[in-house]
Amino acid sequence: MENRDQVAAQNHACASCKHQRRKCDETCEMAPYFPASRYSEFQNAQKIFGVSNIQKIMAMAAPDQRQAAAESILAERECKEK
Protein backbone atom coordinates (compact mmCIF):
# COMPACT_ATOMS: atom_id res chain seq x y z
CA MET A 1 0.00 0.00 0.00
CA GLU A 2 1.38 3.39 -0.99
CA ASN A 3 1.69 6.03 1.65
CA ARG A 4 -0.33 9.23 1.51
CA ASP A 5 2.60 11.44 0.37
CA GLN A 6 3.36 9.28 -2.66
CA VAL A 7 -0.26 9.32 -3.77
CA ALA A 8 -0.48 13.10 -3.30
CA ALA A 9 2.76 13.63 -5.24
CA GLN A 10 1.43 11.61 -8.17
CA ASN A 11 -1.67 13.81 -8.42
CA HIS A 12 0.18 17.14 -8.64
CA ALA A 13 1.48 18.61 -11.85
CA CYS A 14 5.21 19.21 -12.06
CA ALA A 15 6.43 22.79 -11.81
CA SER A 16 6.72 23.11 -15.59
CA CYS A 17 3.23 21.81 -16.31
CA LYS A 18 1.76 23.84 -13.45
CA HIS A 19 3.34 27.00 -14.87
CA GLN A 20 1.97 26.23 -18.34
CA ARG A 21 -1.40 25.21 -16.87
CA ARG A 22 -1.45 21.87 -18.57
CA LYS A 23 -2.08 18.35 -17.40
CA CYS A 24 1.02 16.52 -16.21
CA ASP A 25 1.08 12.78 -16.80
CA GLU A 26 3.58 9.98 -16.27
CA THR A 27 5.24 10.68 -19.64
CA CYS A 28 6.21 14.25 -18.68
CA GLU A 29 9.97 14.56 -19.11
CA MET A 30 10.25 17.57 -16.78
CA ALA A 31 8.48 16.01 -13.77
CA PRO A 32 11.50 14.15 -12.30
CA TYR A 33 13.64 17.29 -12.38
CA PHE A 34 11.15 20.02 -11.49
CA PRO A 35 8.59 18.56 -9.03
CA ALA A 36 5.61 20.60 -7.84
CA SER A 37 7.41 21.27 -4.56
CA ARG A 38 9.98 23.38 -6.45
CA TYR A 39 7.40 25.52 -8.26
CA SER A 40 8.61 28.87 -6.93
CA GLU A 41 12.21 28.05 -7.90
CA PHE A 42 11.10 26.99 -11.38
CA GLN A 43 8.99 30.12 -11.74
CA ASN A 44 12.00 32.31 -10.99
CA ALA A 45 14.21 30.30 -13.37
CA GLN A 46 11.71 30.61 -16.20
CA LYS A 47 11.77 34.40 -15.80
CA ILE A 48 15.45 34.29 -16.71
CA PHE A 49 15.52 31.50 -19.29
CA GLY A 50 11.91 30.97 -20.39
CA VAL A 51 10.11 27.63 -20.35
CA SER A 52 10.97 26.87 -23.96
CA ASN A 53 14.69 27.37 -23.39
CA ILE A 54 14.62 25.28 -20.20
CA GLN A 55 12.96 22.48 -22.16
CA LYS A 56 15.58 22.79 -24.92
CA ILE A 57 18.43 22.66 -22.39
CA MET A 58 16.93 19.57 -20.78
CA ALA A 59 16.40 17.88 -24.17
CA MET A 60 20.00 18.56 -25.23
CA ALA A 61 21.42 17.07 -22.02
CA ALA A 62 22.24 13.38 -21.98
CA PRO A 63 19.72 11.41 -19.90
CA ASP A 64 22.28 10.77 -17.18
CA GLN A 65 23.13 14.49 -17.03
CA ARG A 66 19.60 15.90 -16.84
CA GLN A 67 19.48 16.09 -13.05
CA ALA A 68 22.73 18.07 -13.08
CA ALA A 69 21.34 20.33 -15.82
CA ALA A 70 18.19 21.01 -13.79
CA GLU A 71 20.22 21.82 -10.69
CA SER A 72 22.47 24.07 -12.78
CA ILE A 73 19.47 25.98 -14.15
CA LEU A 74 18.14 26.55 -10.65
CA ALA A 75 21.60 27.50 -9.33
CA GLU A 76 22.07 30.00 -12.17
CA ARG A 77 18.77 31.56 -11.19
CA GLU A 78 20.02 32.01 -7.64
CA CYS A 79 23.25 33.63 -8.85
CA LYS A 80 21.47 36.08 -11.11
CA GLU A 81 19.00 36.89 -8.35
CA LYS A 82 21.83 37.93 -6.02
> Which residues 6+ apart lie within 8 Å of 40 measured at CB?
none
Reported confidence tier of residue 1, pLDDT bands at 50, 70, 90: very low
Which pTM value belongs to this model?
0.75
Tell me the residue range of the domain where 28 lies: 4-81
In this predicted structure, what is the pLDDT of residue 11?
58
In the chain, the number of structural domains is 1
Q: What percent of the chain has pLDDT over 70?
A: 87
What gap in Å lies between CA 41 and CA 43, rounded to an integer? 5
Over residues 18-43, the mean pLDDT reads 89
Whether the per-residue pLDDT at 3 is higher than 60: the answer is: no
Residue 33 dihedral angles phi and psi, to the nearest 5°: -100, -25
